[in-house]
Amino acid sequence: MTAPYPDSAPYLARGPRACPPAGARRRTLYARRTLHARDLHANRGFTLIELLVVVAIIALLLSILMGSLSRVRASARHFVCQNNLRTVAFDFTLFADDPVDSGARRKEGGSGSRFRLETFQEKVYRVNDFWDVPGKQTEGYDPDKQPLMCPSASDQLRRIADRPCRDYAVAPPENVSVAFNARLDRISMKIQDRWVLMEVQLGARILEHPSVPLAFDADGAEAVRKLVVPYYSTPPSGDEGRYGTGQFWFPSMRHEGKLTAAFVGGYVLSTREPLRESGWDWSYQPPVE
């Protein structure tokens, strides 16, 4: 038998148990070392740098996820606030349009049924003549059932018996989150060279002015700092009298920098520039009848 390679003749002569040639031994040793290295690499675990990289990636993913969840929650609260204000606007339409006496202090006169805005406000808050918890002097509100509580504001608000709304029947005042248009409660007028705020009554004709803001997000804490009641607010809007000072203007831009308002017409809008919106009639004042 002729060996295919000269250096393999001794190996073939000694039979199958003889040692392999040097080249084959080197290849076998290299393969074993490679497998051993792979085993060591597989069993050594993560290095500190690899762990830090993994932790950083997880933290980044969590921050992205939390940011998305936060935006979703904020959008949900804004949606609830809009629905609450829409409910208030709808109830106001019924209250103003109904000729039947639906409030204990609603007054009859002149051209038909007349009422104070405060009366409607007390109806929604269920205070004063609308108190519905006999035998109790105070009662906390359920935020899920009180449309004048914005879900993005404090959920701690209570009502006090035997008080009109203006006398802090809803407290604490700094937690009040929705205010009514002050010009629908008291108008700014000049009497004998002196500017005063005069109470005004409303009737069904107020519904002929749908673009007038009715209720909107307010900052009760800012009202307290300005030493005014938090239930009524209005911007200066060119007024030369009491409203022109800006003391009664304390809006809250709590919904992603936007103010949400319900209108006499029954609709709800949100904006970042409530004083620059051409369709928002802040200056309207009901006539004295």
- Confidence band (pLDDT; 50, 70, 90) for 48? confident
Is residue 172 reached through a cis peptide bond, with omega within 30 degrees of 0 on the bond before it?
A: yes
Please report where in the chains the tokens 């808050």 appear, as a residue. 125
Beta strand 213-217 with 259-263 is antiparallel
- Supply the angle between the helices 48-97 and 117-125 in degrees, to the nearest 10: 130
Tokens 């409030």 found at: 103
- pLDDT beyond 60 at 8: no
In the chain, where the domains are located: 83-271
* pLDDT for 87 beyond 90: yes
- Residue 209 has phi, psi (to 5 degrees) of -125, 70
What confidence tier does 37 reach under pLDDT thresholds 50, 70, 90? low
pLDDT greater than 90 at residue 72: no
- Comparing 84-93, 100-109, 115-124, 276-285, the range with the smallest average pLDDT is 100-109
Q: 286 and 112 in contact (C-beta within 8 Å)?
A: no
How many whole angstroms separate alpha carbon 14 and alpha carbon 212? 111
Compute the average pLDDT of residues 109-122: 78
User: Residue 16: what pLDDT?
Assistant: 52
Is the per-residue pLDDT at 136 higher than 70? Answer: yes
Least confident of 35-49, 148-162, 224-238: 35-49
Place of tokens 């295919």: 4
Q: How distant, in Å, are the alpha carbons of 117, 160, 163, 181 from that of 130? A: 14, 11, 10, 21
Burial 66-80 (b: 16+ CB within 10 A, else e): eeeeeeeeeeebbeb
pLDDT at 25: 57
Cα four-point dihedral sign 151, 152, 154, 158: negative
Q: Could you report the per-residue pLDDT of 188-208, keeping only the tens digit for each?
A: 999 998 999 999 999 999 999
pLDDT category of residue 38 using cuts at 50, 70 and 90: low
Q: What local confidence, expressed as pLDDT, does residue 49 receive?
A: 85
Q: Which helix (H) or strand (E) holds 179?
A: strand 178-181
For residue 79, what are the β-bridge partners?
A: none
Q: What is the pLDDT of residue 17?
A: 53
Q: What is the pLDDT of residue 236?
A: 96
pLDDT for residue 219: 98
DSSP for 90-153, please give it: HHHHHHHH--S--STT-EEETTEEEB-HHHHHHHHHT-GGG---TT-SEEE--TTT-TTS-TTS
Give the model's pLDDT for residue 105.
Answer: 47
Mean pLDDT of 90-119: 70
Residue 159 has pLDDT above 60, yes or no: yes
Q: What is the pLDDT of residue 260?
A: 97
pLDDT at 41: 53
Q: What pLDDT does 33 receive?
A: 61
pLDDT in tens, 254-280: 999 999 999 999 999 999 999 999 999
The stretch 138-167 carries a mean pLDDT of 95
Query: Given pLDDT bands bounded at 50, 70 and 90, which one contains residue 111?
Result: very low
pLDDT digits (tens, 9 = 90+) for 245-259: 999 999 999 999 999
pLDDT, averaged across the chain: 85
Contact, 174 vs 224, CB < 8 A?
A: yes
Q: Each residue of 210-252: pLDDT tens digit?
A: 999 999 999 999 999 999 999 999 999 989 999 999 999 999 9
